[in-house]
Amino acid sequence: MNYPNGAKKVLVKQGMTETADAFSNRGMTLEEDINTTNKYYLDLDKAIVHKKPTPVQIVKVNYPKRSAAVITEAYFKQASTTDYNGVYRGRHIDFEAKETKNKTLFPLANIHDHQIKHMESVIKHGGICFLIIRFAAYNETFFMPAEKLFSYWNDKQKGGKKSIPYNVIKESGYSIPFQYQARIDYLAIIDKLYF
């Protein structure tokens, strides 16, 4: 198989090729699928999107050997915003990716107040902001514009439901079919909604 960077890759794993594994396993985790998709976009010069590093303050390090250091204590420096950001077709894009094993709902406890404030700010300044939600039990992944999330969040803050039902996400979100190269092709949905 030829990849966009020109490399050839055929691996055999328990009698199956990598291609078969990729589709049967659906890429293992949502984060891995998005990272693979973002690399594909970058290789094609279609978009620049990266995972944001979480700032960590290292407090204690043990040196069992000269060549090996082991971090034994560290703390988050500050609350992170969203998982990914970048540029596509001249617009800033910013999104959070969440995977749930729940079959009937997406718990809003997976999102934090500072993330909502960040998403609101991105939209206020003309950026495109959204969630990618995977229901692991169904191997289904959805694109949900942040604007649709806000009403559920505000309802939760007023003592309402603390989750979004699966059927609501299925009806009001946008299904992202799994593909081989752009595993989670969220740019196809952005093209339809914003361009």
Name the amino acid, one letter, at 191: D
Q: What is the pLDDT of residues 122-136, one digit of tens each?
A: 999 999 999 999 999
Q: Look at residue 72 in the predicted model and tell me its pLDDT.
A: 84
Q: Tell which residue, 127, 122, 95, 124, has the closest CA to residue 111.
A: 95
Is 115 annotated in some ligand binding site? yes
Ramachandran assignment for 179, one of left (phi > 0), alpha (psi -120 to 50 degrees), beta (any other): beta
Residue in the block written with tokens 């289904």? 140
**In the structure, what pLDDT confidence band is assigned to residue 43 with cuts at 50, 70 and 90?**
very high
The arithmetic mean of pLDDT across residues 95-117, rounded, is: 95
β-strand partners of 50: 85
Q: Look at residue 58 in the predicted model and tell me its pLDDT.
A: 82
Is 96 annotated in some ligand binding site? yes
Q: Which fold has domain 27-52+79-194?
A: Trna Endonuclease; Chain: A, domain 1 (3.40.1350)
Q: What mean pLDDT value characterizes the chain?
A: 85
Q: What is the pLDDT of residues 47-78, one digit of tens each?
A: 999 998 777 788 888 888 777 888 888 877 66
Q: Look at residue 78 in the predicted model and tell me its pLDDT.
A: 64
Q: Percent of the chain having pLDDT more than 70?
A: 84
Residue in the block written with tokens 């328990």? 14
d(CA 173, CA 143): 6
